[in-house]
Structure 1
């Protein structure tokens, strides 16, 4: 048995011997185990005892399958485990005193390592054995001064020597760390700078209190938050401001265009801090700039106030909605009018009209105050303020709307528009001012006529004598002179004037007054035969003219009872000329009591009748004489309404409405006598020039609004506003014709299938035959202005009625790009299909147009 055990133990002794030799090796590497394993295997297989072991294995185990493989695996596993244990024990690791039996072992290991050239290892072992001087020496000789410095710092607690050593070898980072450990932060910061460690350097400098240099390092490395923190502790406010501004922009850009609500205040605070430091540095411009970037307009405005940039500050306060603060700034800057104006605008936005009015007037903004008064219906006050504000034209228009034509006349006179002033004084009935203005404009005839009416005959004579022969009123002036001479007993002068007229105007129905006065003059000159002859010829034309029949009888009896007449022939009075109307002779047109209107020529015709230029013989002025369609005279409804409507329309007295002087029936035909307007029909004007300039169009629009506002206020609706019913005078005044005629004719045609009006201009409700009110004029006004500015009506082809009811109009700006957008919107609102969507009064349109004129002017 002993022999068997001896044989079995032989392979294991071989492995043990190999393991002992492996342990004795000085520095096994990680590759040693594998090399050793294959060497051991080779030696085992070549040993003579292995064969005996295999034989014994077979004997004891018997015929077990794979028994030799099991033995080989066992033999291989055992040495492998032994080799792993040896490697684990011999692996390189720090040797501590706990792992060594004594310092002697450390010193022995250190010497061995130094002898083998591993100086750093030797230094480690000397350091472990607390031989620090030798450790430092080995580290330095091993070119590891950093380890040497650590010995000074950590083992010997001598940071000065550590720092000196680090600096000697240019190990600035190590020196910095040593300084930090020693609490010398400023010095550490400088060493970090040399080590190119700016962030660490900045942190140390900040800890050491060198905020300026720390801030610069932070700023240079894009650490704007830390930079602003440091600069904020220094007197260099400009750098602090720049840092905060950079930090603000960095944060702001991080959110792109959408800033979370919870972050908005913090970001705004950064902008405020930047502005604060800019302000502290005395640099207000960038402070204002960053506040504006942050949308902090009130803060920027306050800084602008400090810079005395009042205009910009006020603008920013206003944009920010701080009107009262803006007003305070203006007041403090010595601008009380601007302050009052801003307060007025503020109160307007608050709906406090009365307060706004007070401040507008205090500010001297009389035009804005006037607009506001006008919008509230206080037209008289509005007119006074327009006048005070220098807008005499608007003042006059407003006075007219307020029913104050005399004040309107004064406004026109103040702006030098004497023509309109005369018209206004005529409506006011101020004959004193009229005569004064007529003389200023050298209208001597009208001045003389008024002087004559007022009984100032000497002044009347002086005026009539100034009427030139080329003046169309020269004959009438001569007649009036004769009348005055006759009245004042200056018979020779009167006879001279009458005889001059007789040579030019033979006796006719339109000058019976002249010949009547001549006959009276002959009587007073004691020339009864001449007087009798003239009376006789007057009776031949008009048997019931004044008291001619009685005078003629008296003279005839006187002549027959007296001696023969004086030698000489009767004066020649000329043929009996009659007015020609329509190409043939006709009785003079007039009313009971004598002929009054002399028809001169036809000047137009249309659906409302034929218009003639005529002369009012009683007043000596030209008029427009319109004869209405003849088929109406047989219509009972028309006859019933005509006189009533004519009287109502005659009450309309407005500078932009053609005045109606008279109405009646003559020879079975109904007529209306109107103011004669010298100018062009707007429809004809558009035919020649296609469209009217924008400024003139706005002027026409504005005047039409005033005319309609006045008429609608009198409960009169036109119903047929169109370019064909408008006259445009040389003095650029629009005149609206045919007010109310559409209503009269429509009522006369009740029961027919047609609707009175012109389809191109009719409102949807008028097209449908529904009841209409003043808003139908608003629609027609929109069409008219549309045509005036574009040269065409909104709907000119196809089923016009259908389009008026259903189709939206093309915006006028699409047809004329010069039309301002605001004016485009006004016109389209007038053309709304639903009356409730249109302007509810012409006054509303007028006010918007005045605002547009001011913006463009």
Structure 2
């Protein structure tokens, strides 16, 4: 028998390793605790509390286990399960009790527990699984408003439409739609799919329900959404899906009878060949034609446009097709049918048929080319008519001259404003009154004015209107000396004196003619007859003098009718007037009153204005006429719509850079042209430059500054506008074209900067001595090169400026590059 001490030793031998292990763990725990938690105050006390807490939790767990052990444990028999079920039932854990009753096959009791535990779905399951009592199961679910579970139950037995109804009541629309679809209630399924946002599924069901219009509409909706993502998703899978959507949408539109819509969807998806076929079925032949063009089938496209009734488009397509094929005869026929007369004309010309080409050029509206083509083919009559249609009257006149067509020549001379030639042509045709009408339209500045006076007198003489004829002859005689070259004029005047009974005047003129040329016409015979009449008591010199009446001008009433005043200033008053001869509006400028006191200067200006009339440039206002009326001198200029640059600058403070450079370029071109004609403006400034709606400048008042200087000062004072005058003009020195370059620089300075370079103090002194502030300082947008151009224009010494305006234009042109 083992003694107690032996037993203790044996126990110690078992426990000592465990103690050593525990002691080692405890030492390690204390070590790590001190390392990591030693910073805590009373750290060992904290550790002790944690150990005690662990022990306490262990005891609590044991107590709970002991209490759990008071309930039935794991049962191994039906009796034990029934006992446990009753325990759960007693403790009102009905669902757990029901589960146990179900395990021991007490199904009615299980159902009772499930219902008591408010789990009717489990009760229904038991009815269904254990008793196969579908109605009872469904009744339980419906009594408890479990429509979703009711739907699931109906689905299990294949009653899909009823399942759909219950799912719909449960607001499970997608599940309901699936059930209806399985139950072949496609219309209902489609509606619910649409409501729940399953558009493609809805479209499919609408199609199955034969609601093709709705199916097509929804497929199109899905198709359009896919169309937006087509560019971002280039996968083959997505492309296949997109193509399938396209075909379905197109198919259902076709089934719905909307063939055009079907075709449009196919076309937008790039399925052009299918789209074309659909367009044909829809009788949308024009659309089909466009599709065939995309497919490269031009002739088929032309057929479609024929079907659509668009013969012109059909002809255009055939024309281009045959042209590409090199079949020009066919091409030109179709171009003509298409109304593309100019292209047809080009082809006829290349084929050598100039006459036909000319006809088509004319029909196509290119009268100039038509005229040239007709002329080249020898069809001069048609060429002349075409030139006339094109408005090229000079060329038309030239051809009619070759043809000798006086009728057309007289009309065209009149239309072209060549009134003297018109009068000659009308005279040649015997239409003397019409000839006189043309002659009265000729102004004194016209180079044919004196010839017109002579011709008017001759016609009136021929008509026996001697008094009127004499007025013209007398006006001409004031300009023609009595010399051998003008004897015919004075002979006619003598004949009129003779015809009107003023025999002494007639005899006096005959004698003067005889003294120069005794053999001139019948002068000797006329002198002899008049001598006899005078010696036999002919009429006295005064007799019949009243027959001549008060002299009238050759042009009749005053030509210009004032409409309204446009403006006034130092250069005079400007009116808008109507030229009654040609029916156009003009600018009518009445020069200052004090010009009446300087007739010699005005006469000099009128002579010089002949050269000003030669200034014909798109950027210079053209002088049309000048003269004197009611004691005032006037100038007639072309009327220009728009605003002057002074007004333009005020409207926008400073002109935009692009527009300003364009104005500067045009100004340089105009000045270069005028200077090449030896004409200097002397008063270039913003208010003398118009800016038209067509974005063109028009320089006004060329030559007037010099005229007013002479009128005001007799060349002793300075004329011009001080803000814009060059230093040499300020000092009264002789001027050349470089003064305009300086003034142009000042003008552009103001446009770009919003003010001239000098605005305060002694302006003249500043122009002569003060360097201008750099434009770029006032307007930082000005490029450096433009800044240099303006400052060079403003150089004080003329030789330091640009020496001609062409240089300015070229440098401005370089800015654009």
TM range (shorter): 0.3 to 0.5
TM-score (norm 1): 0.46
For the pair shown, the structure with the greater C-alpha radius of gyration is 1
